[in-house]
Structure 1
Amino acid sequence: MEWSDLTDGAKAVLEQTRNIKNDKIQIVEFEVGFKQEVEDSDEEPISIQEEDYQSLKRFTQENEYGDKYHMARNKNIVKIILLEKGKIPDNLSEIPIFREYKNQN
């Protein structure tokens, strides 16, 4: 699966899995059903729906770029991390959540 096949919500999540500035691996947590409130009408809101989750799931299994991801879903909350060297880190709980796309309750 190629980048161009991803839904917009899936792209928004994947773009956040690596902090470009210092090249650190980051966890991104999102809620299926999230819709961003946008104050600036020029800005495109981020929406992550079930089809975005399915797109992410397929991409992480079939991507053609060689990157390996770990995704875990508990009800509607999903965490995704880009793996270094294809292995889940021993200290996964110590890796910060870099970005959250979650509805405020």
Structure 2
Amino acid sequence: MEWNDLTEGAKAVLEQTRNMKSDQIQIVEFEIGFEHQYGEPGHEYTVSIQEEDYQSIKQFAEENEYGEKYHMARNKDIVKLILLEKGKIPDNLSEYPVFRQYKYEYVQKQKEAEEKEKAEAEAEQDE
């Protein structure tokens, strides 16, 4: 499967596994059905990951022509895509952080953290 054959959502997920070239294992977690707008005003883009994107990623991972090895694990609508180091899953996988998350729960936590920071900054200015 060629890169150009991938769906847009699949490309968005797979690009995250390529953003960090190192010897580290790379984990991207995503939710099927996820859709969210990112970026600054005027430079916004939408990441949408649907069932067809999952199927596209799955096919790419199985037929990858670029020499990289992937492992995918799906639990209901949450999927972990792991770019493997040296072609195998390490024993201590839980010790590796998730590099990118395309999940509603994660977006909500990020929004709450930003609102908390903003409120704290405003409280400091008022003092």
Q: Does TM-score exceed 0.5, indicating one fold? A: yes
Determine the structure 2 residue equivalent to 1:49: 50
Q: Which has the larger radius of gyration?
A: 2
Normalising by the residue count of structure 1, what TM-score does the alignment of the two structures yield? 0.89
Normalising by the residue count of structure 2, what TM-score does the alignment of the two structures yield? 0.74
Answer with 18-27 or 64-73: which moved more: 18-27
Task: Identify the structure with bigger relative contact order (alpha carbons < 8 Å, sequence gap 6+).
Answer: 1
Shift in Å, 1:40: 2.7
Aligned mates of 2:72, 2:19 — CA distance in 1:
18
- How many equivalent pairs are there? 105
Answer with 72-81 or 20-29: which moved more: 20-29
Determine the structure 2 residue equivalent to 1:25: 25
Gaps of 5+ in 2: 109-127
Shift in Å, 1:20: 2.3
Q: Which has the higher strand share?
A: 1
Root-mean-square deviation (CA), in Å?
1.8
Aligned mates of 2:80, 2:48 — CA distance in 1:
16
* AA partner of residue 68 (structure 1): K
Aligned mates of 2:8, 2:70 — CA distance in 1:
18
Report if the CA contact (8 A) 2:70-2:83 is conserved.
yes
Identity %: 72
Aligned mates of 1:43, 1:101 — CA distance in 2:
16
Aligned mates of 1:73, 1:9 — CA distance in 2:
16
Q: Would you identify which runs of 4 or more consecutive aligned residues in structure 1 move more than 4 Å? A: none
Gaps of 5+ in 1: none
Answer with 9-18 or 74-83: which moved more: 9-18
